[in-house]
Amino acid sequence: MRARLTVLVAGVATLILLAFSIPLAIMLRNAAAERAVSLAQQEALVVTAIAPTSEKAAVETTVAQINARVPYPMTVFWTDGTVIGADAPRSSAVELAATGESLTAATEGGREILHSVRMPDGGYAVVRAYVDDRELTAGVGRSWLLLGAIALVLLGFGLLLASRLARLLLVPLADLAAVSNRLADGDLDARANAEGPPEIKRVGTALNTLADRIRDLLEAERERVADLSHRLRTPLTVLRLEAEAITNPTKRATVDEAVGEVERAVNAAIRDARKPGRGEAECDAVAVVAERFEFWSALAEDTDRACGLSLAPGPLPVKLSAEDLAAAMDSLLANVFAHTPDGTAFEVRLWARSDGGAIVDIADEGPGLPDAAVFERGRSDGGSTGLGLDIARRAAAASGGQVVFGAGHGGKGALIRLELG
């Protein structure tokens, strides 16, 4: 932007300077020519004044003196055809002046200034002063060089002013952009220096206000999540006490395990709310998927669901914490149990991506997805909140991947693919 602003100012300044310089240069050239012609005319008038009343010898002496001191050759054409002074051709302009008309005529290499003088014998003598092109343009080149130098100085001053103006504008804008990028990266303590022109100051102040508002909203949201998680601990304690009252060891173990999973999820929510942005995370996708499949396979057995697991050789690292991957797997598997009837088979497949990471497919043989676009928006038609799909989507995005919805094998059932970076 700084270069564009400089080029813009340079273009505008150049046009302005040309608009003034070209007419001024023409005016200087015309002024030099008029000055030379005026001086030549003055000398010719001297001869014109004495020619009718003086002898030829006196006029010849005067003409010789003039030719010796000025660069404008003087010639007198007498009525009897005699020529005194500088040699000059008797041009058509001289013939016209001999009829009694004074004039200025252009000729090869310069101009003729011709004065017609009425002589006592009734005829007309012609006083001719000649100004060549060098005299017509004397000093014009030097004036043009000076004019060009002034134009270049003014252009340089304009460019310097444009550079200063660009710096005045762009430095605060660069600071605003840097602060915006820091806020986008999660640095909520980033603040802009409200400096520069008034408009940029207002933008900086608005950005700082927005940052404060975002931080307040996030802190309030974290507090609400933490408070909700703490509230869940009371019913969890009741559930654990109820589980201890179950006499069947197998059922008690199953309930204890389920309560433990919920409790771990609640603790993870509290940790995430209190300490967001834990930085780069990594886990072994094979170990996490296998562990979550084992947990849900027990419930599958209770609901008469056939289930299968296909795992790539481990370890298979992904850019996601074990807790987040486990939460994503739980949300997707819970959808299978929530939105398909008992007895519906499902399968979990895990393999490595060619560019790093892993892909997890969860396919079932249920009725399928009624509207994949609805699921893409994070909502379902089953009356759920859609948070499960959001959990999976956020986990995939955090690792640099995505969630893809489709149909199962042979176009039957549903397929949810979790791509992890």
The pLDDT score that the predictor gives to residue 380 is 44
- 97, 103 Cβ separation under 8 angstroms: yes
CA 21 distance to own-chain centroid: 35
Last residue of a domain, one of 117, 142, 167: 142
Please check whether residue 164 lies inside any domain of the structure: no
User: How many residues would you count in the chain?
Assistant: 421
Residue 175 domain-assigned (yes or no): no
Identify the three-state secondary structure at position 233: helix
What is the rounded distance in angstroms from the CA atom of residue 222 to the CA atom of residue 226?
6
Is 321 found in the same domain as 249?
no
Residues 293 and 263 in one domain: no
Among residues 246, 277, 308, the one where a domain terminates is: 277
Would you state the pLDDT for residue 413? 86
Q: Examine residue 183 and state whether it is found in any structural domain, yes or no.
A: no
**Tokens of residue 175, six digits:** 């600071």
**Domain holding 352: CATH number?**
3.30.565.10
Burial of 96 (0-12, 13-18, 19+ CB in 10 A): middle
* 14 and 124 together in one domain: yes
HEC string of the chain equals CHHHHHHHHHHHHHHHHHHHHHHHHHHHHHHHHHHHHHHHHHHHHHHHHHHHHCCHHHHHHHHHHHHHHCCCCEEEECCCCCEEECCCCCCHHHHHHCCCCCEEEEECCEEEEEEEEECCCCCEEEEEEEEEHHHHCCCHHHHHHHHHHHHHHHHHHHHHHHHHHHHHHHHHHHHHHHHHHHHHCCCCCCCCCCCCCHHHHHHHHHHHHHHHHHHHHHHHHHHHHHHHHHHHHHHHHHHHHHHHCCCCHHHHHHHHHHHHHHHHHHHHHHHHHHCCCCCCCCEEHHHHHHHHHHHHHHHHHHCCCCEEEECCCCCCEECCCHHHHHHHHHHHHHHHHHHCCCCCCEEEEEEECCCCCEEEEEEECCCCCCCHHHHHCCCCCCCCCCHHHHHHHHHHHHCCCEEEEEECHHHCCEEEEEEEC
pLDDT of 75 reads 92
Three-class SS of residue 38? helix
- Sole residue written with tokens 């396919």: 363
Residue at a domain's end among 277, 310, 339: 277
178 located within any domain: no
Q: Which pLDDT value is given to residue 385?
A: 42
Whether residue 312 is found in the same domain as residue 414: yes
Does a structural domain hold residue 155?
A: no
Are 312 and 399 within one domain? Answer: yes
Query: Distances from the Cα of 179 to the Cαs of 116, 193, 216, in angstroms?
Result: 86, 9, 18
Is residue 357, in this structure, part of any structural domain at all?
A: yes
> What is residue 197's predicted lDDT score, i.e. its pLDDT?
75
Closest to 265 measured CA to CA, from 338, 324, 334:
324
Does 416 lie in the same domain as 328? yes
Assess whether 129 and 217 both reside in one domain: no
Task: Domain count for the chain, please give it.
Answer: 3
Within this chain, do residues 268 and 298 fall inside the same structural domain, yes or no? no
- The answer as to whether 255 is a domain residue is yes
Q: What are the pLDDT tens digits along the chain (421 aa)?
A: 667 777 777 788 888 888 888 888 899 888 988 898 899 889 889 989 888 888 888 989 999 999 899 888 999 999 888 899 988 888 899 899 989 898 999 888 889 999 999 988 888 999 999 999 888 888 888 888 988 898 888 888 888 887 777 777 777 777 888 888 888 887 888 888 877 778 888 888 888 888 888 888 888 877 777 677 667 766 777 777 777 778 788 777 777 777 777 777 777 666 666 555 545 678 999 999 999 999 888 888 888 899 999 999 878 999 988 888 988 898 899 888 888 888 999 999 999 988 889 999 999 988 877 654 444 444 444 444 455 688 888 888 888 889 998 887 777 888 999 999 8
- pLDDT value at residue 379: 47
The reply to whether 382 and 405 lie within a common domain is yes
> How far, in Å, CA of 316 to CA of 351, rounded?
8
Span 127-145, pLDDT tens digits: 999 999 888 888 888 888 9
Same structural domain for residues 316 and 345? yes
> What pLDDT score does 378 carry?
47
Instruction: Give the structural domain span for 96.
Output: 2-142
Does a structural domain hold residue 179?
Answer: no
pLDDT at 387: 59
Strand partners, 364: 346, 414
